[in-house]
Amino acid sequence: MTSPSPLPGGGEQCDPPVRPLDPALLGHARVTPADPVEAGSWQSFTLTYTAGRYGIDDSGALRLAFRFASDQTPLQFADPRAPGYTTVSASNRAVLECRYDRKGNVRPFDHTLAIKVVNGFLAEGDTITVVLGDRAGGSPGLRVQTFVEESFEFHVLVDPVATFAFQSLPDQPAAAVVPGPPARHLLGLPSMVAAGAPFALTLKAEDAWGNPSDRSDEVLTLAADPPLAGLPEKVAIGRGRTFRRLEGLRAPAPGTVEVTLADARGELRARQRLLVREAPALRPFWADFHAQSEETIGTGSVERYFDFARDEAFLDIAGHQGNDFQITEAFWQRLNRVTAARNRPGRFVTLPGYEWSGNTALGGDRNVFFATEGRPIRRSSHALVPDRADLARDCTTAAELFAALEREGEDAVLFAHCGGRYADLGQGHHPRLETAVEVHSSWGSFEWLLGDALARGLRVGVVCNSDGHKGRPGAEYPGASQFGALGGLTCLMLPELTREAVVAALRARRHYGTTGGPNGRPHLEVGVRVPARRCDRDPALGEVRTEAAEILAMGDIAFTGAGTAVLEVRVTASCGVERIDLFNGLHHLATERNHDGTGPRLRVLMAGAAYRGRFRQVVWDGEAGLAGARILDTRAINFFNPDRVLARPAPDRLAWKVVTTGNFAGFDLRLDQPEAARIALATPLLAAEVAVGEIGAGDRVLAADGVLPRRLTLARLPAGALSPDMATRREVVLERERDNALYARVTLEDGTQAWSSPVYLLCR
């Protein structure tokens, strides 16, 4: 509240209260066509605003705004033949000035077309007509956002009195964005089941942009090797449905089962592998802890959010992470009711929570989760929360947040997160509360955040989540927006699927993270063989109890007097495993490949981010020419956006458009004479000519200067597919008087990656 200002004579002048105009007198808007449109399709919309009783005065304005998450074509006014061309006119010929800004309005409606009346005015009944994607001059139109939304809103705001105080129309025009036809089919299976125990299999179809498609009516063939009891041979999802769940399947004996899905022609549509154990003490369960719904900056209702995670993303666990400064008390209470109602032990577990969204200088983003509902929310600010009744509960820095949670004994678990704002671990950390760092999300990959933690001697686990905004937790594709990666997943090793077990696993760091996607659920086992005393908690918290151990599991913290330890890693995946990288803290120990590195397949990868902040994209659009050999075939890797493709304009040339945001993308070339081949590469960052025959068992790495690593890597692989299984073990010389953080990074043949939580050996 602004303090009153003194008046001459000793009186006080108070700021006048803001009295909104009568919404019924602001006018109305409609959009045509209003029929459902296909996600990612090209359209032309006409929005007509009719002025209300107030009209719009000279220098007043109209705004047409779209949600932050929308990746539709940006609007432009200069080229009538280009995408997004937009025309604006007034029925009374008032002169209008137009401007488009990606952050031109209060979130979540960020993308904004601002229309200002600069000569004349509008009276009641006058209209402003906006043609979005005007095709009259040859433009292909406006491409609709690439993800579905039941009510895609054309949000109209008016400043009729020229005060720059915009008000939203009471009724907003909208259209439904619906999925396209199936482009692929996916299988959802547990990673591991007990022999003889019942489990479920889920099928779904996705369109080209990753939306579950309700247009799959073909009959498909299911097969399992060895057979699964209860598995039907023929199955259809059915038109009008986005998934089909088959219950009551059983694997009779321990082993590895491969399940395949084929069409009527016998063409393989999907493949997944299932581990079967006799009586596993711990089983892998999959989670996306971190995304948002439309109540904050995402898409779709919070109820739909959790239903999608459970049914269409095949998740076992989900959390919701709205930006704290946008969560009203009413929504916080509703969110808690929804997480309580959707929590079903043994089937689907939810965690209540929020994203503490402090500015970078104040500590950066943290994900906050609670073991129970009914806990208070401590915001970084009330930036978009008008009710100030609980302002005193705000924590404006990460250090204040940790102190408040510790002081009041909150049953909380926190992750350090890198999104728009990145977590600065130097601004605060609590060893009991902050149990993990998030190294991958839709924003990209952030191994440097784990490096920050290890450099500071912090003992944290690794998680990967989506931080999705498109209403698809657990199955988040980047679309055509600033996001450059698939949303990640976290795998937790649990004795049972309950909230208590999930929280206990997070505190014990019994989990690993992956970059997600169709093959994003490899089973990863990491162990360390060494005589040790395993701690019951982090010694940074004070006195600990220990027990003797010869084998340490992922997440363990232990004391040892040994000089060496054996790090063991085993991977079981649904596609080929390309390599395993082994680490001791910041020190890279070794790269173990699942091949000899001398085959006829050339792999070219581009990786990196521009910097730690929000606009970290690196554009790698480039081309390559080959001499001395023929290209037999090509395959793109991590080209997630259908607009950004790997093309072959000539038999010996390639061209591509791709971005990275800390992750990597690239391609494979299968060559007829690799030893004689030379490849010339040209990108905005790096250009080089390399003799393929000189690439041996190691990688050829070309690095570019930058705040964060940006590199182009060449390697050789066999012609055929790699084995989906890989195991390695390595003796590690332990360093004294410091933590030895032993962990693995796994890279699959299709470009998927996974990171284990470290085993922390305190060597004395």
| DSSP per residue, 417-481 | -BSSSB--GGG---TTTEEEEEEEETTEE-HHHHHHHHHTT---EEEE---B-SS-TTS---TTS
pLDDT of 712 over the 70 cut: yes
pLDDT of 11 over the 70 cut: no
Of 640, 621, 613, 478, which Cα lies nearest the Cα of 71?
478
Please indicate whether the domains covering 23-178 and 521-594+728-764 agree at the CATH topology level. yes
List, in order, residues 6 or more apart from 423 with CB less than 8 Å away: 363, 364, 365, 366, 398, 416, 417, 437, 449
Return the ∠ at Cα 142 (arms to 139 and 148), rounded to 5°.
155
Structural fold of domain 23-178: Immunoglobulin-like (2.60.40)
User: How many angstroms separate the CA atoms of 575 and 458, rounded?
Assistant: 34
Which tokens go with 532?
């040790």
pLDDT of 619 over the 60 cut: yes
Which tokens go with 426?
């130097």
pLDDT of 640 over the 50 cut: yes
List, in order, residues 6 or more apart from 386 with CB less than 8 Å away: none
| pLDDT confidence bin for 697, thresholds 50/70/90 | confident
User: How many angstroms separate the CA atoms of 644 and 621, rounded?
Assistant: 9
pLDDT of 135 over the 70 cut: yes
Strands (E) in 12-55, as ranges, are 12-13, 27-32, 37-38, 42-43, 45-51
| pLDDT confidence bin for 611, thresholds 50/70/90 | confident
pLDDT of 438 over the 80 cut: yes
Q: If you ran DSSP here, which 8-state letter would residue 291 be given?
A: B
DSSP per residue over 361-410, as a string?
A: GGT-EEEEEESSS-PPP--S--TT----TTGGG---SHHHHHHHHHHTT-
State residue 218's pLDDT score.
94
For the residues 374-398, what does the mean pLDDT come to? 96
State residue 646's pLDDT score.
95
Of 653, 656, 637, which Cα lies nearest the Cα of 645?
656
Give the three-state DSSP class for 331.
helix
* Residue boundaries of the structural domains of the chain: 23-178, 184-280, 284-517, 521-594+728-764, 596-721
Which tokens go with 1?
């509240």
184-280 CATH choice from 1.20.140.10, 3.60.15.10, 3.40.50.300, 2.60.40.1930:
2.60.40.1930
pLDDT of 6 over the 90 cut: no
For the residues 527-541, what does the mean pLDDT come to? 97
Q: Give Cα separations from 682 to 154, 177, 407, 624, 691 (angstroms).
A: 42, 39, 56, 6, 15
State residue 19's pLDDT score.
57
Of 693, 236, 742, 749, which Cα lies nearest the Cα of 518?
749
521-594+728-764 CATH choice from 1.10.1380.10, 3.50.50.60, 2.60.40.10, 3.40.1350.10:
2.60.40.10
What mean pLDDT is reported for the chain? Answer: 95
Greater model confidence, 6 or 444: 444
Strands (E) in 161-198, as ranges, are 167-168, 174-178, 184-188, 192-194
pLDDT of 8 over the 60 cut: no
Q: Give the least confident one: 330-334, 436-440, 483-487, 558-562.
A: 483-487
CB neighbours of residue 702 within 10 Å: 17
| pLDDT confidence bin for 4, thresholds 50/70/90 | very low
Q: Which helix (H) or strand (E) holds 7?
A: none
% of the chain surpassing 90 pLDDT: 92
C-alpha distance across the termini of the chain, in Å: 58
Which CATH class for the 284-517 domain? Answer: alpha beta
% of the chain surpassing 70 pLDDT: 98
At 15-29, the pLDDT tens digits run: 444 558 899 999 999
List, in order, residues 6 or more apart from 595 with CB less than 8 Å away: 578, 717, 718, 722
For the residues 94-102, what does the mean pLDDT come to? 97
State residue 341's pLDDT score.
98
For the residues 700-728, what does the mean pLDDT come to? 94
pLDDT of 737 over the 90 cut: no
State residue 389's pLDDT score.
95
Chain CA centroid to CA 550, Å: 37
Q: Give the least confident one: 129-143, 477-491, 562-576.
A: 477-491
Its pTM stands at: 0.95
**Kind of pairing between the strands at 412-416 and 353-357:** unpaired
For the residues 638-656, what does the mean pLDDT come to? 93
State residue 420's pLDDT score.
82
